[in-house]
Amino acid sequence: MGTVDIKDTTKEELSRMMVGRDVQLQVEKKPANPGAVVLDVQNVTMHNDQRKKDSVKDVTFQVHAGEIVCLAGIEGNGQTEFVYGLTGLEKLTRPCEVQLYSDSKYLTDAFNQHWIDGWLKKGWKRGKNEPVKNTDLWKRLLKAKEPHQVTFIWVKGHDGHPENERCDTLATTAADGTDLIVDEGV
């Protein structure tokens, strides 16, 4: 973990630092076919009380019919994946059949490989009696999932999947905005 000066760092270097490996930055994207604009979000600012600064500042975007969108800061330990699925499920107002697409194998396998069942039986412990990380988020996700029939579907990130590409477009649009906060590390 460290700090870099964004002026002296390329997008490729930043992505390698964030992901831990080389990332293909130029992806041939199929044109999205979103529904009508149902929400026009203007100048969203999210304050991080622990760091005493804004983690997102003045982000503007549109949400189209059929999309569920959330903003989340990068906190590590896989928290972002939980927040994506959790926020969408918590917004549903009636029981639904949901196909939750994620490029996180950890999230999808927790349900599809029944890891979560084992964690619950062991009191939120993993294989070597280690605690499961982010149990607060797992519990919220289970509660939000409870009234719905949820199918967790893994998709390879940046591989042409329309919904995954749309999420990427929303995220990169926000990241390309102005007045972004520089992450100074911990």
Helix intervals (H) in the chain: 11-19, 79-90, 105-112, 115-121, 135-145, 162-175
Give the pLDDT mean for 135-142.
88
Burial of 85: CB neighbours in 10 Å, binned 0-12, 13-18, 19+:
buried
pLDDT score of 185: 42
Give the pLDDT mean for 130-150.
89
pLDDT at 142 over 90: yes
Instruction: Report the DSSP beta bridge partners of residue 149.
Output: 97
User: pLDDT tens-digit profile of 79-108?
Assistant: 666 676 778 888 888 888 888 888 788 888
Amino acid code (one letter) for 128? K
pLDDT score of 160: 76
User: pLDDT tens-digit profile of 21-80?
Assistant: 676 666 565 665 667 777 777 777 766 666 666 666 777 777 777 666 655 444 444 566
Give every CB contact of residue 40 below 8 A, 6+ residues apart in sequence.
Answer: 62, 63
User: pLDDT tens-digit profile of 157-186?
Assistant: 777 777 777 777 766 666 666 555 454 443
Predicted model pTM = 0.53
Whole-number Cα distances in Å, 147 to 19, 97, 168: 34, 10, 28
